């Protein structure tokens, strides 16, 4: 169940934590009294108040719910194209997948090698290649953006995290993926913390694209999560948004090795983040 934690880290009044599966149920939940009026407005007239362009082309809660449940194929295709572009420009992420190794002892003997006289290399075993990085990595990314940002700019905010998750999973890493949004008003701070992907979940690019990259999902379901703040989020504005800091995220994820992705709004910025991480790992 989603939970509201009070002061889990300094300077954060509340953290509303939930999983991707729980996000779909948010329209059915109540919220603290200061935000019940805007919640009713969001659920009934959000698509009359906000423009379709600002919502990334969405025109109804029905469309938003369907995308959250079924994914965003068009967004996934854009991300795959970015992965393809980067694959020709970057070193491969260091693989930690198990590989076949032939030795003088092991798990299974190869009779062909034995009969050929390869005594010292006739046993088959599976070993991981040496690596420096941990097998589980947490990616912490900012979710959504401010009011004046376009749907296209919000796409690139999520793209770096989605692409990096795909690259690391392909190399054999277990990836946890978190989307964070801190809302502030009059000195009070509320953090929405969405666990987009568990470490043992397979990567589903269309689902991740929908949540992280589509403006309409953040500006509907994400806004409902912001309304779980115990202070008035200022009606349609939903407070001033900011990042969860690296230090705050490390406390909340229990000290798992993490990649922190801050605010961005362009393809070049997304590519730079992925490039820096992969090249850093290649030098280790």
The per-residue pLDDT for range 90-119, each reduced to its tens digit, is 545 554 444 455 455 555 666 655 565 655
CA distance 218 to 54: 11
For residue range 55-66, list pLDDT tens digits in order. 999 999 999 999
CB-based burial label for 191 (10 Å; 0-12, 13-18, 19+): buried
What are the tokens at 61?
């809660």
Answer yes or no: are the C-beta atoms of 136 and 155 closer than 8 Å: no
pLDDT at 176 over 60: yes
CA distance 164 to 205: 11
* Strand-pair category, 136-142 with 123-128: unpaired
CA distance 94 to 163: 16
Task: List the end-to-end C-alpha distance of the chain, in Å, as a whole number.
Answer: 39
Q: What is the pTM of this model?
A: 0.84
pLDDT at 194 over 60: yes
Neighbours of 136 (CB within 10 A): 13
Task: Compute the Cα dihedral for 118, 124, 125, 127 and give only its sign.
Answer: positive
Q: Tell me which residue of 284, 216, 252 sits closest to 5, measured CA to CA.
A: 252
Which residue did the predictor score with more confidence, 240 or 124?
Answer: 240
134's CB contacts (< 8 A; 6+ apart) are: 256, 257
CA distance 141 to 144: 10
Q: Kindly indicate the confidence band of residue 71, based on its pLDDT and cuts at 50, 70 and 90.
A: very high
CA distance 29 to 21: 14
Q: Tell me which residue of 25, 17, 78 sits closest to 206, measured CA to CA.
A: 78
Q: Kindly indicate the confidence band of residue 125, based on its pLDDT and cuts at 50, 70 and 90.
A: low
CA distance 190 to 181: 8
CA distance 21 to 7: 25
Q: What is the mean pLDDT of residues 38-44?
A: 98
């Amino acid at each position: 169940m989603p939970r509201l934690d009070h002061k889990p880290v300094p300077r954060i009044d509340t953290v509303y934590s939930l999983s991707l599966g729980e996000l779909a149920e948010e329209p059915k939940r109540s919220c603290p009294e200061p935000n019940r009026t805007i919640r009713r407005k969001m659920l009934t007239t959000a698509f009359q108040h906000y423009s379709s362009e600002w919502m990334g082309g969405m025109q109804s809660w029905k469309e938003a719910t369907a995308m959250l449940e079924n994914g965003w194929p068009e967004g996934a295709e854009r991300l795959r194209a970015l992965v393809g572009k980067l694959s020709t420009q970057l070193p491969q992420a260091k693989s930690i997948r198990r590989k076949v190794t032939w030795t003088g002892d092991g798990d299974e003997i190869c009779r062909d090698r034995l009969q050929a006289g390869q005594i010292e290399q006739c046993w088959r075993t599976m070993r991981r290649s040496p690596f420096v990085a941990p097998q589980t990595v947490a990616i912490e990314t900012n979710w959504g953006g401010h009011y004046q940002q376009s749907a296209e700019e919000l796409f690139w905010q999520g793209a770096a995290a989605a692409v990096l998750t795909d690259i690391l999973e392909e190399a054999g890493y277990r990836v946890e993926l978190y989307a964070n949004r801190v809302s502030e008003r009059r000195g009070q701070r509320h953090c929405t913390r969405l666990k987009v992907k568990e470490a043992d979940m397979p990567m589903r690019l269309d689902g991740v694209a929908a949540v992280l990259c589509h403006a309409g999902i953040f500006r509907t379901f994400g806004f409902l999560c912001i309304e779980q703040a115990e202070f008035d989020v200022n009606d349609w504005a939903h407070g001033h948004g900011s990042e969860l800091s690296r230090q705050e995220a490390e406390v909340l994820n229990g000290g798992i090795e993490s990649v922190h992705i801050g605010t961005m709004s362009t393809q070049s910025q997304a590519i730079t983040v992925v490039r820096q991480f992969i090249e850093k790992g290649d030098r280790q």
